[in-house]
Structure 1
């Protein structure tokens, strides 16, 4: 038994890791759906009490009378109901934070910090799975973020947006995918990091950051954002977020299992994708307040069928692409 566990240790660790991720996401989904709204209302209640206790209204009135320009500036920056206020500030701070973390990761990779040693350790362990049957599954998963499938998803999304007459959403989609792709290409050329030695699928580009991880967050993250904005049910919105996180983890993990990328490459791709996803969401929300996008539309049955047809078409195309193109590349 001990010998069997030692022989299949990487596969066991991988299975346990996936199980932990699924359990955590399911637990978060349950907690947020059950207690999310009540927790939000509780926060609002305590915030109102905080305002009353410190006399915020009186202080603001005094500030408005004594320093009207300062009051207007603060109001515009902190007003939660106005996009140019608190939402834009939060998005801007998020972009700055993501960029700072990415710079820190780049510094660690360039200076051969401890994360590089972890990269090679994980890569060595994943090379032991090269003959395992699970490789076929991860080839299909990784195909979801391949260039042909990415283009197909973008075209189908643009078609749906055009049919429901919300064409300005396409601008955010293009910013997320094209912006992150160009940024990733430039970064790859700048650092020219070689891919792992035991790579399973032939690749001609450099390793850092992972393009698949980048486009997963940028593209599928933006699709999740669209679905959440069109959805009116809180439970559905939470499930969309959790499903998107699971898909993101699986595609990133597939790049590591197939030894296409190091762990830090995938983390870098996640950061780049999140950065451009935030930019795309910011632009889309700005277009929304300009009345260019209406999220409160009524969907016809034909439009709903078109969405599901697109989803099924993408999944089938992914499997066909994996079988016809990806599997022959298996070294």
Structure 2
């Protein structure tokens, strides 16, 4: 896979020598990716419920056919303990069944991917070649007009901003009578932050040359990418968990995914991270996001969090007002910072 990306990036470099074809190709690739994501969202919104019901129905049919098989039936009689364990893991009626199984599998897959990326970086595998070629291309195509925009986006994961929004999020959870949900949020954020710092100290990878911003820390993994998934991903989870409509959940999910993608992209555009740094940061953030969600779902299963708890009108208005003030205030402050940076260029 890495060899494929090396070939593609070298081809883009070759086209760049011939003119601006590479830049146009990059724009077309981004547009194609956006169209694909929009189509996925569209079909999920239109057919997602029916697809889910069909999948559940198919699962019941396969389960009944599987159990009725004489060989399976004989094995079930001989190993009742194993069957009981598997049945409990596949039970979707409570958290300790199928939900916990899926969370555990997601955690395992994420951890395997993270270890693979870390090993490739540590052994200077072909992924490092991809990183350096991509960094050269980004520095070539970096337009001055994009830098303030990238700074505005990337600063949403600056530690002071994350700290302010964390306090606001905890206040909001207290206002809507879901204060225990803050435990999962803090677990995800603090765990991801500490894990990211620890990995930076272990790998001590230097940042790319020609970065727009000065960053004193090491490069691998990207802390901004990590925090974007661990923090904003968890906020997205809280919003999704708090609404009932399927289409609203899908839109929130894709909106948060797009925002997280832009934060990672901004780090690459600013030249402060390699591609593998951002990818590893996403995986670290996802690892702790899954752990944070697991904590919250366990709290919900034990009755400490009630996602369906009704809110009175006063609390709802106060919570919405606080959220709007926080988002608009932070966005305005970051916009002013970006303008100051542009004026100093």
TM-score (norm 2): 0.87
State the match for 2:225 in structure 1: 213
Select 1:303's aligned residue among 316, 319, 332.
319
1:149 partnered with 2:161: yes
DSSP-derived class of the 2:151 partner: helix
1:276-301 per-position Cα deviation (integer Å, ceiling 9, x unaligned): 00000001100001111111123433
Select 2:202's aligned residue among 190, 207, 216.
190
Unpaired segments ≥5 residues, structure 1: none
Q: Distance in 1 between matches of 2:333 and 2:68?
A: 57
Q: Distance in 2 between matches of 1:228 and 1:256?
A: 29
After TM superposition, give the deviation of residue 149 of structure 1 in Å.
1.3
Instruction: Name which of structure 1's ranges 40-49 and 137-146 shifts more when overlaid on structure 2.
Output: 40-49
After TM superposition, give the deviation of residue 49 of structure 1 in Å.
2.4
Select 2:59's aligned residue among 31, 37, 47.
47
State the match for 1:293 in structure 2: 305
Contact 1:207 1:261 in 2 (8 A): yes
After TM superposition, give the deviation of residue 130 of structure 1 in Å.
4.3
Q: Distance in 1 between matches of 2:30 and 2:95?
A: 38
Select 2:330's aligned residue among 314, 321, 324.
314
State the match for 1:102 in structure 2: 114
DSSP-derived class of the 1:253 partner: helix
Contact 1:10 1:129 in 2 (8 A): no
DSSP-derived class of the 1:23 partner: helix
Contact 1:161 1:167 in 2 (8 A): yes
Q: Distance in 1 between matches of 2:258 and 2:75?
A: 48
Unpaired segments ≥5 residues, structure 2: 1-14
Contact 1:213 1:266 in 2 (8 A): yes
1:275 partnered with 2:287: yes
State the match for 1:81 in structure 2: 93
Q: Distance in 2 between matches of 1:226 and 1:51?
A: 33
The size of the alignment, in residue pairs, is 327
Select 1:20's aligned residue among 32, 56, 62.
32
1:75-122 per-position Cα deviation (integer Å, ceiling 9, x unaligned): 322211121112111111111111111111111111111111111111
DSSP-derived class of the 2:237 partner: helix
After TM superposition, give the deviation of residue 157 of structure 1 in Å.
0.5
CA RMSD, Structure 1 to Structure 2 (Å):
2.6
Contact 1:202 1:329 in 2 (8 A): no
Contact 2:66 2:72 in 1 (8 A): no
DSSP-derived class of the 1:128 partner: helix
Contact 1:184 1:214 in 2 (8 A): yes
1:140 partnered with 2:177: no
1:238 partnered with 2:250: yes
Q: Distance in 2 between matches of 1:136 and 1:232?
A: 38
Contact 2:16 2:22 in 1 (8 A): no
1:160 partnered with 2:172: yes
Q: Distance in 2 between matches of 1:237 and 1:111?
A: 41
After TM superposition, give the deviation of residue 261 of structure 1 in Å.
0.2
